[in-house]
């Protein structure tokens, strides 16, 4: 298959370890799709090279348990930089999440692949914005420790696109919708209005990313003759998905395609 096949290129991007090279490769791939020089082949059998680390990531930041991350005081530049660094790590991981969804799962409609390409490109933009702001504070991605828990659910759901759509965008990425406003308020209160503006861009785009997950999750449920709500509950139990903790950004979740029944389920689970 030509190197211009989209899923093959997405796998190549996922394997890249240098963040700048990964961002550039995603942008180039998206440009080629827009110009008609790159398209997905949903039937193409693909596998990651034997022994290749997935995802490709730089040596730094060192990954530690979430409990081992340093405290972030908003009263110092270093403390704010630690928070911005954590955000950069989330956005770098989010590029990889989208690329993995793009290449890994065959036999989906063409729109599925172009949806996840758009998500990958927007996550690449987010990473670039956050990394540039981190540089303005005198730091770089890799200067602090980070954790790898975001990728754990990706690894657990490699065998089923339904589980992936249910548990990565609808659980993990939706948590970002809830976390964004308090993080924005904290940074704005500390006087970092540039970071607050970047978080506004991220929230706007992440609503769309969660909506992509919701839409394809429902598509797959209907295709398989499954009811979305009980299926989601069963998948959360099977894969040990983390239970989201409030407060929830319900307006953003509604915009992202969660139904009122799903929001009621979410709020009820938070009371146990």
pLDDT digits (tens, 9 = 90+) for 137-166: 999 999 999 988 889 999 999 999 999 999
CATH code, domain with 238: 1.20.1260.10
Rounded to an integer, the average pLDDT of 48-73 is 85
The answer to whether residue 58 is domain-embedded is: no
The answer to whether residue 62 is domain-embedded is: no
The answer to whether residue 261 is domain-embedded is: yes
The whole-number pLDDT of residue 2 equals: 43
Rounded to an integer, the average pLDDT of 77-104 is 96
Among the residue ranges 20-29, 57-66, 82-91, 96-105, the one predicted with the least confidence is 57-66
Kindly tell me if the per-residue pLDDT of 74 is higher than 90. no
Kindly tell me if the per-residue pLDDT of 21 is higher than 90. yes
- Give the number of domains in the chain: 1
> Assign residue 237 a region: left if phi > 0, alpha if psi is -120 to 50, beta otherwise?
alpha
Q: Quick one: what percent of the chain has pLDDT higher than 70? A: 98
What is the model's pTM? 0.95
pLDDT digits (tens, 9 = 90+) for 205-264: 999 999 999 999 999 999 999 999 999 999 999 999 999 999 999 999 999 999 999 999
CA distances from 194 to 2, 89, 175, 205 (A): 42, 18, 22, 17
Kindly tell me if the per-residue pLDDT of 75 is higher than 90. no
The answer to whether residue 214 is domain-embedded is: yes
The answer to whether residue 60 is domain-embedded is: no
The whole-number pLDDT of residue 67 equals: 72
Write down the mean pLDDT value for the chain.
94
Find the helix packing angle between 6-15 and 110-136, rounded to 10°: 30
pLDDT digits (tens, 9 = 90+) for 38-54: 999 999 999 999 888 89
Q: SS in 3 state form for 4-53?
A: CEHHHHHHHHHHCCCHHHHHHHHHHHHHHHHCCCCECCCCCCCCCCCCCC
Q: Quick one: what percent of the chain has pLDDT higher than 90? A: 87
Beta bridge pairs of residue 146? 63
The whole-number pLDDT of residue 1 equals: 37
The answer to whether residue 141 is domain-embedded is: yes
The whole-number pLDDT of residue 216 equals: 98
The answer to whether residue 31 is domain-embedded is: yes
Kindly tell me if the per-residue pLDDT of 272 is higher than 70. no
The answer to whether residue 256 is domain-embedded is: yes
Structure tokens at 79: 């403390």
Enclosing domain of residue 107: 6-46+74-269
The whole-number pLDDT of residue 250 equals: 98
The whole-number pLDDT of residue 70 equals: 67
Rounded to an integer, the average pLDDT of 174-182 is 97
- Band of pLDDT at residue 271, cut at 50, 70 and 90: confident
CA distances from 259 to 51, 129, 204 (A): 42, 32, 19
How far apart are alpha carbons 25 and 150 in whole angstroms?
Answer: 22
């Amino acid at each position: 298959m030509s190197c211009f096949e989209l899923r093959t290129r997405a796998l190549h991007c996922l394997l890249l370890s240098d963040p700048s090279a990964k961002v550039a490769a995603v942008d180039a791939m998206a440009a080629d799709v827009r110009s008609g020089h790159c398209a997905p082949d949903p039937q193409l059998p693909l596998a990651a090279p034997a022994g290749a680390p997935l995802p490709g990531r730089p040596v730094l930041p060192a990954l530690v348990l979430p409990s081992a991350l340093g405290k972030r005081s908003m009263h110092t530049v270093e403390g704010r930089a630690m928070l911005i660094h954590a955000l950069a790590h989330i956005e770098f991981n989010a590029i990889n999440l989208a690329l993995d969804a793009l290449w890994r799962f065959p036999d989906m409609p063409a729109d599925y692949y172009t949806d996840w390409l758009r998500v990958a490109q927007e996550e690449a933009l987010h990473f670039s914005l956050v990394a540039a702001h981190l540089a303005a504070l005198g730091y770089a991605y890799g200067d602090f420790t980070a954790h790898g828990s975001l990728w754990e659910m990706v690894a657990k759901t490699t065998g089923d696109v339904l589980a992936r759509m249910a548990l990565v965008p609808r659980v993990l990425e939706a948590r970002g919708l809830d976390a964004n406003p308090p993080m924005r308020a904290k940074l704005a209160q500390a006087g970092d209005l540039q970071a607050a503006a970047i978080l506004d861009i991220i929230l706007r785009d992440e609503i769309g990313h969660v909506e992509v997950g919701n839409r394809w999750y429902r598509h797959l449920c209907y295709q398989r003759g499954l009811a979305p709500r009980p299926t989601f509950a069963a998948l959360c139990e099977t894969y040990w998905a983390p239970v989201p903790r409030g407060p929830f950004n319900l307006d953003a979740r509604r915009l992202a395609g969660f139904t009122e029944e799903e929001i009621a389920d979410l709020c009820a689970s938070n009371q146990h």
